[in-house]
Amino acid sequence: MLKTIKSFYRRIVPKKIRNFLWNIKRIIKWIINKSIETIILIIIPKKSYRLFLLKKSAKKRLAKRSLLRFDIHLADHCNLKCKSCLHFSPLAPEVFQDITVLERDCKRLAELTGGRVEDICVLGGEPLLHPRITDCLDIARKYFPEDRIYIVTNGILLLKQPEEFWQNCVKNNIGIDISLYPIHLDLEKIKQTAMRHDIKIAFRGRPKVQRRGWSRQTLDLEGKQNAEESHRICELANFCIQLVDGKLYQCETAAFVKYFNKYFHKNLEITEKDYVGIHQEKSLDEILEFLCKPTPFCRYCNTAEVDCVEWEHSKEEISEWV
């Protein structure tokens, strides 16, 4: 009966009107959801509501993936150096992804996955700092010919890129996502350049909101958090998977805490139980199983305490992370 009604509706209502009504439906649904959320936030503190949503979605978020997704860090350092950066980029020395290591690791992951992954995010630090970024993109596309590959950048260096970079993005079907910060960027010119080369470009966040609501996740230097609970309410878990020198880490915090440790003379311990080596005799199923479970390092993350702070450049003070 329902199918008959739908079929009749499609026959008598022109497509333009159907699309218009569908958009109206989406707007009404968005308004209702926003209204409900606003009411809830009046009654319940924002932090409590955030934890409620994370706990509610935990089963789905932390289910074992059917396809691997991972991030490639082309540069550990950055030209923006945001306060409280989860990649610890303000504390990192000038470190670039080694081309030989990248090829070795991508080849191995292609063997494990059959060359099929959900997506590959090329980031940093600031990825455009890498002097051989086009070679890196060539390698990623060589081993993963069909999957989505995209760069995440702060955009500062985009308009300074040579024509070779843009042509390489076209050749390899690379998308570009720009994280928007409260800094000056000629967004119109960036859009025009991307459109001229027929490159997909997206913008993340809103500068004014970023200025007022920069998230800061706190570390527990003594590692006294419950690892399972920290993992359950972690927004990075099972998503921000980092490929670093033949190892897959569950998140950027674990992958790059070495810079925090060295800079502040701390010892947030990383052990062999905090990553999975892709060149060991592991199956893809074992790797995906590992990536959705808590690790010992999770005890250092106080994921219940995520503050909103005003965005600014890092002063490289320990208080930005603890």
Cα 296 to Cα 9, 262, 270, 271, 284, distances in angstroms: 56, 20, 8, 8, 22
**The tokens of 288 are what?**
């995906």
Q: What Cα–Cα distance (Å) separates residue 20 from each residue in 10, 17, 121? A: 13, 5, 35
307 or 194, higher pLDDT:
194
Helix (H, G, I), strand (E, B) or coil at 322: coil
Q: Please, which pLDDT band fits residue 12 given cuts at 50, 70 and 90?
A: confident
Terminal Cα distance for the chain, rounded: 60
Q: How confident is the model at residue 241 (pLDDT cuts 50, 70, 90)?
A: very high
pLDDT tens, position by position, 43-93: 556 566 666 677 778 788 889 999 999 999 999 999 999 999 999 999 999
Three-class SS state of 177: strand
pLDDT for the residue numbered 264 = 98
Interval 188-194 mean pLDDT:
95
